[in-house]
Structure 1
Amino acid sequence: MKKIFGWLHLWLGIASGIVVLVVAGTGSLLVFEEELEHAFRSSFFYVEVPANTSRQPLDNLTAYVQRENPKYKVGTILVEPEADRSVVYLLRKGKGNKVLKNQLYVAVNPYTGKIIESVPGNKRFFSVVLQLHRYLCMGETGKFITGISCSIFTILILTGLILWWPKRNNRKQRLSVKWNASFKRLNWDLHAVLGFYVHIVLLVIALTGLVWSYKWMNNLLYIAFDGNTKQQKIVAPESPAVKNTGIAYLEKMVNTINERLPYEGTITIRFAENDSTSIATSKENRARHSNVSDFLYFQAGTGELVKERLYDNESNGTIARRWVYPLHRGTLYGWPTQILALIAALVATTLPISGFLIWMGRKKKKKKPEEKIQAVKKQALPLDKHPDTSVQYQ
């Protein structure tokens, strides 16, 4: 059985190695996406708070952004609770609004009402990294490839654990890296031992990745927690927009959200693609684990509350589905789980490389005995039958 698992581990690893390398490498960057982006581009996200100056209404900021970017349409607004944070807009244009070149990120100073910076989606570093991670920058074809590779990686984790499993007298060797050993032995330890220590974290990341890749995996989640696959999709209810009301309805919406959901958290406003659908808003509850959000829906133009959808009222399957993202990304409980996810992703990045070196080492090892056998046969031949014509007959 170990030979079969070894064969599977080897050839599946070779087949998926490059994709695993790319996905794991980009995944390690995405673990601390927010922290890294805020550190290296702080001027985009943070502003100085002037004395005795209040924030301008969100409606004024939005109208200004739209005027300055007439080719785009406002898709999403992010409003942070901190006083020193900019308001970030995601603008889209055209039918292919998921294409990076059709996206524009705009940061606005909420006190001056001026645009701080505008960044096209295809020039935002982490947007490109995410496209590589999910789609290999190849659209649906890339998603298909990463889905298969994620499935293979799950098998590699399980077969790797079986191959690693030590005998009674060999446990110490399988649990520690011999740093002063030869390169060949050190490479094997880094592949097998480090792989073992992070295999549980990697298995969680791989399985949660499969939920995004395959509908059947998503259905299994709902069957496990709800007993059926009837998923209540989070869609904005119908509510035709009312135009030219003269109401600062976006500011009214924010005030209503903060009144009904009095905890601290980021408010996300998502505009519908048509005028017959309500505006979907969500507020992340930072007091609980990552990705806990309550949804409120408002009528465009009036800011009247149409519907609310609270996290605590969701089905067990929907709540479990909300856990998938923070589990996959490692943000479930903040820094401790993020560090675990980062270490696991970095180890996963090295596994295709160390595994390939192990395979190459074994190929060379197999060649050496064959070369020796050929050399012995060559020496045993009679001189008159020696293949080397330069040999002088005696």
Structure 2
Amino acid sequence: MKGTFKKIASQLHLWLGVSSGLVVFIVALTGSLLVFEDELEPVIDKQFHIAAAHEGKQRLPLDVLQSNVTKAFPAKNPVRITIESEADRNVIFGLKNGKKEKDILSVAVDPYTGIIAASRIEQDAFFSVVLRLHRYLCLEETGKTITGISCVMFLIIMITGLVLWWPNRKNTKQRFTIKWNAKFKRLNWDLHAVFGFYVLPFVFIIALTGLVWSYKWVNNIIFMTFDGKPQQKREAPANLSTIKTPISSTLEKIYKATNQTLPNPGKILLTLPQSDSLSITISKADDNAPIANIVNFLYFDKNNGNLVKTRLYAEETKGMQVRRLIYPIHTGSLLGWPTKIVAFLTALIAASLPVTGVVIWLGRKFKGKKVKNQAIKVGNNKSRTKPVIAN
């Protein structure tokens, strides 16, 4: 019975691995890059993110920066404004650049001079491409289905891999250590099995949390478990006023009020509604929080910049608080650099597993053919041997 179970696990591990290996390799490799997206993005595209020398200079009002962007791109409506917490960062304006919501032209403005530093199609940016590869192989809904199925396969592969790895009395030491001076075949097996064992808990959690983006029902399970109902759609509330106040500093007023209400450091995102009746949504991350992705929301009247509503993290439902933990757990940003390093190494090893696994499979396949050919050759030689006739 035990042998049959292990044989089934072996076949599942093999064929699910062969079927999903390429997708797992791409998703894991891109995932390792995305772990340090926040750190690498300003380095890769420095002109876009880093402002010129700003010592001793005062930031210009947001409204002035938006006015400069509007003059440069009069046909494109602003939909969001991103303000990083670091003093040397440009302010990024997101302009609607097509019919789809994700069609965004990003414009970087130096907040101290008001000069437009750079612009780019957001979909063409390096990490945007990496993210699309990671989530759906740049194949939209078809790719999302493929990565979702491959993620489920990978979870089964890890379980069956643990079954195949499980040691007995004779090979316990071999299962926990890598023999670095061994021949290639043995070393490759160790890299696959031993490394796979050590990263299994982390990879399993990362893959499991990844299902939230692949399947809506997985996301709903979180809210049904903790809130007793599916996730509720959140919309910006309506403006309290109906008449636009003739002031030219509404955005700057909102920005200052946000920092007064939420004095903690953190990235600020202003989402500008396309409807004149809805308020402006402000989200601000809390960099002082013990874990990542703690975000508070404020809503301001679009007409006069007055505060309409607050939506603080502490007041969120348990379901939403748990849901907010999924992203930092998945990306490794939960506790900052220590968990990011763990996630980075885990993703790299996960990317290597399909490669070492295929090498093991090919080695066994060719070995089987070699043994079969040798058996045929021996059989042919025997058939050609003349029988000895005794006198």
* TM-score (structure 1 length as normaliser): 0.92
Matched, 1:197 2:179: no
Give the AA of the match of 1:198.
V
Please name the residue that 1:347 is paired with: 349
Shift, 1:70, TM fit? 2.5
For residues 77 and 163 of structure 2, the distance between their equivalents in structure 1, rounded to whole angstroms, comes to: 53
Please name the residue that 2:65 is paired with: 61
The SS at the match of 2:309 is strand
Q: Would you say the 8 A contact 1:242–1:300 is kept in 2?
A: no
Matched, 1:9 2:13: yes
Instruction: Give 1:296-315 correspondences, 5 Å limit.
Output: 296-315=298-317
For residues 119 and 215 of structure 1, the distance between their equivalents in structure 2, rounded to whole angstroms, comes to: 31
> 1:155-205 CA deviation, whole Å, 9 max, x = no partner?
111111111111133221011111111111111111111111111111111
Please name the residue that 2:325 is paired with: 323
Matched, 1:155 2:156: yes
Please name the residue that 2:173 is paired with: 172
Q: Would you say the 8 A contact 1:6–1:159 is kept in 2?
A: yes
Moved more, 119-128 or 132-141: 119-128
Please name the residue that 1:388 is paired with: none
Please name the residue that 1:19 is paired with: 23
Aligned length: 381
The SS at the match of 1:168 is coil
Matched, 1:78 2:64: no
For residues 224 and 106 of structure 1, the distance between their equivalents in structure 2, rounded to whole angstroms, comes to: 41
> 1:56-76 CA deviation, whole Å, 9 max, x = no partner?
110110121122123322122
For residues 245 and 145 of structure 1, the distance between their equivalents in structure 2, rounded to whole angstroms, comes to: 52
> 1:330-384 CA deviation, whole Å, 9 max, x = no partner?
1011110000000010011111111111111111121222112211211122469
The SS at the match of 1:268 is strand
Please name the residue that 1:259 is paired with: 260
The SS at the match of 2:171 is helix
Change (3 A) 1:241 1:349: farther
For residues 368 and 208 of structure 1, the distance between their equivalents in structure 2, rounded to whole angstroms, comes to: 43
The SS at the match of 1:188 is helix
Change (3 A) 1:6 1:56: same
Give the AA of the match of 1:59.
D
Moved more, 215-224 or 3-12: 215-224
Change (3 A) 1:37 1:374: same
Percent identity among equivalent residues? 49
Moved more, 65-74 or 128-137: 65-74
Change (3 A) 1:17 1:244: same
* Unmatched 5+ stretches in structure 2: 387-391
Q: Would you say the 8 A contact 1:86–1:110 is kept in 2?
A: yes
For residues 375 and 341 of structure 1, the distance between their equivalents in structure 2, rounded to whole angstroms, comes to: 51
Runs (4+) off by over 3 Å: 48-53, 240-244
Give the AA of the match of 2:110.
N
Please name the residue that 1:363 is paired with: 365
For residues 144 and 274 of structure 1, the distance between their equivalents in structure 2, rounded to whole angstroms, comes to: 33
Q: Would you say the 8 A contact 1:279–1:300 is kept in 2?
A: yes
Give the AA of the match of 2:233.
K
The SS at the match of 2:229 is coil
For residues 16 and 27 of structure 1, the distance between their equivalents in structure 2, rounded to whole angstroms, comes to: 16
Shift, 1:249, TM fit? 1.0
Please name the residue that 1:37 is paired with: 41
For residues 120 and 241 of structure 1, the distance between their equivalents in structure 2, rounded to whole angstroms, comes to: 35
Q: Would you say the 8 A contact 1:268–1:281 is kept in 2?
A: yes
For residues 190 and 242 of structure 1, the distance between their equivalents in structure 2, rounded to whole angstroms, comes to: 67
Shift, 1:11, TM fit? 0.6
> 1:305-351 CA deviation, whole Å, 9 max, x = no partner?
11111100111111000001101111011110000000010011111
For residues 373 and 197 of structure 1, the distance between their equivalents in structure 2, rounded to whole angstroms, comes to: 40
* TM-score (structure 2 length as normaliser): 0.93
For residues 320 and 280 of structure 1, the distance between their equivalents in structure 2, rounded to whole angstroms, comes to: 22
Please name the residue that 1:389 is paired with: none
Give the AA of the match of 1:306.
V
Q: Would you say the 8 A contact 1:247–1:301 is kept in 2?
A: no
Change (3 A) 1:170 1:118: same
Give the AA of the match of 1:235.
E
Q: Would you say the 8 A contact 1:241–1:275 is kept in 2?
A: no
Instruction: Give 1:45-194 correspondences, 5 Å limit.
Output: 45-50=49-54, 52-98=56-102, 102-194=103-195
Q: Would you say the 8 A contact 1:24–1:346 is kept in 2?
A: yes
* Unmatched 5+ stretches in structure 1: 385-394
